[in-house]
């Protein structure tokens, strides 16, 4: 299938190659990227208008109507027809998901191997740019644990973890702020722009986006300058989204009142969950280095509700660094987020797959992680 845009009619024409040539199945990510590159009106929504010459069709773009009209000659082989049907079904799934999420906000926590692998990082930026072009409002909150660890070792500052959280002395926070708000943040924003999107990198201290107090650990650990997010400047994020800009936020927050000048190191999962909750986002997606929430037999739990999560923490099925993810996933859902995805970020195009592959209910594939709902 070869796509060509007609500059006069703003339609996209897909030409079928002769039956003597073999088709290759088009991956969902390529379908979505192709649709995202086409002219948009209030997000992607194919409508009718087919060119009925043998083996061609056109997909015009209109406001949130889904219709895919395919006209092909009888001489197309059964194999080719089946694979074209697969393409059409994928396209319809994408259209259904986009219709569900157009003009809605999703918050993505980006970190782990998805950041440290150049190939996965590039695909993540492509995913964000594609979603933005499709009319989805995306907020990115990133981590950077490996990069912080590397810099701490270089400068000779010791750190440790307690209860899945990094204990943050003044020196640790200074290094974390330097790394997260500097090279890491700008690399992500630049990558999204290079992929065809529009993004601005910023710290949680900028415009008081993340307003924090010192976190008091329930187990009695003194975590130092680890911040508990008390408020989010939703207005500035909404303003950026209204202007067609993806905010890329590093999880360094600011103090409140007399502590206004204090920088707090926030867990990125915590920050993403709270931002999603305050924005009443349609989805919050946590990209992780594991397949999702696993049971004690190490098998994937594809869907959990809030009570399930509490029970799994109580019986120590969920432990350590996974606790903040599921806890703030459930907190976000309780604040009004439609669903929280704990997704395997090691899978190429994981973001696109989980946002678009589920079709009209936009509930993901069910294979790429765990979904937490009410």
**pLDDT tens by residue, the chain, 374 residues:** 444 555 444 545 444 444 433 333 445 555 555 555 554 434 333 434 443 333 333 333 333 334 443 444 445 556 666 666 778 888 888 888 888 888 999 999 998 778 888 999 999 999 999 999 999 999 999 999 889 999 999 999 988 887 667 788 999 999 999 999 999 999 999 999 999 999 999 999 999 999 999 988 777 778 889 999 999 999 999 999 999 999 999 999 999 998 999 999 998 988 999 999 999 999 999 998 888 888 999 888 988 999 999 999 999 999 877 887 788 889 889 988 999 999 989 989 999 888 887 766 656 555 568 899 88
Neighbours of 370 (CB within 10 A): 28
Distance (Å, whole) CA 206 – CA 188: 17
In angstroms, what CA-CA distances link 37 with 34, 124, 153, 160, 273? 5, 16, 43, 45, 30
In angstroms, what CA-CA distances link 10 with 5, 6, 38, 327, 368? 7, 6, 8, 46, 35
For residue 124, which of 103, 143, 97 has the smallest C-alpha distance? 143
Cβ-count burial of 219 within 10 angstroms (0-12 exposed, 13-18 middle, 19+ buried)? exposed
Residue 209 near residue 236 (C-beta atoms within 8 A): yes
Residue 347 is encoded by which pair of tokens?
């899978």
Predicted confidence at residue 37, as pLDDT, reads 54
Which residues share a beta bridge with 228?
Answer: 213
Residue 109 near residue 139 (C-beta atoms within 8 A): no
> How do beta strands 11-15 and 56-61 pair?
antiparallel
User: Phi and psi at residue 246, in whole multiples of 5°?
Assistant: -85, 115
Residue 172 is encoded by which pair of tokens?
């640790």
Q: Please, where are the H alpha helices in 117-181?
A: 118-133, 145-155, 170-179
In angstroms, what CA-CA distances link 79 with 19, 162, 234? 9, 57, 51
Residue 249 near residue 208 (C-beta atoms within 8 A): no
For residue 270, which of 107, 104, 105 has the smallest C-alpha distance? 107
């Amino acid at each position: 299938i070869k796509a060509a845009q007609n500059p006069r009619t703003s339609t996209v024409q897909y030409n079928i190659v002769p039956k003597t040539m073999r088709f290759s199945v088009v991956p969902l990510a390529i379908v979505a990227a192709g649709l995202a590159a086409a002219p948009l009106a209030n997000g992607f929504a194919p409508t009718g208008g087919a060119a009925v010459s043998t083996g061609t069709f056109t997909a015009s773009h209109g406001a949130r109507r889904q219709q895919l009209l395919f006209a092909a000659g009888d001489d197309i082989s059964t194999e080719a027809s089946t694979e074209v049907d697969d393409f059409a079904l994928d396209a319809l799934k994408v259209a259904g998901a986009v219709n569900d999420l157009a003009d809605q906000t999703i918050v993505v926590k980006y970190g782990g191997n998805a950041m440290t692998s150049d190939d996965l990082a590039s695909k993540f930026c492509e995913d964000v740019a594609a979603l933005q072009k499709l009319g989805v409002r995306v907020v990115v909150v990133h981590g950077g644990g490996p990069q912080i660890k590397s810099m701490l070792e270089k400068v000779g500052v010791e750190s440790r973890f307690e209860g899945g959280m990094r204990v943050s002395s003044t020196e640790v926070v200074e290094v974390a702020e330097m790394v997260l708000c500097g090279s890491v943040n700008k690399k992500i924003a630049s990558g999204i722009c290079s992929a065809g999107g529009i993004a601005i990198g910023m710290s949680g201290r900028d415009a008081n986006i993340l307003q924090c107090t010192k976190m008091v650990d329930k187990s009695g650990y003194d975590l130092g300058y680890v911040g508990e997010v008390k408020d989010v400047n939703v207005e500035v994020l909404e303003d950026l989204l209204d202007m067609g800009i993806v905010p890329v936020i590093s999880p360094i927050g600011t103090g409140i009142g007399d502590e206004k000048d204090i920088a707090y190191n926030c867990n990125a999962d915590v920050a993403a969950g709270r931002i999603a909750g305050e924005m009443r986002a349609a989805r919050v997606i946590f990209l992780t280095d594991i397949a999702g929430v696993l049971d004690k037999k190490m098998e994937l739990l594809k869907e959990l509700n809030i009570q399930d999560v509490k029970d799994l923490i109580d019986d120590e099925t969920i432990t350590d660094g996974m606790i903040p993810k599921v806890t703030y996933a459930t907190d976000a859902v309780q604040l009004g987020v439609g669903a929280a995805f704990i997704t395997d970020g090691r899978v190429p195009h994981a973001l696109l797959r989980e946002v678009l592959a589920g079709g009209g209910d936009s509930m993901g594939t069910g294979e790429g992680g765990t979904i937490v709902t009410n």
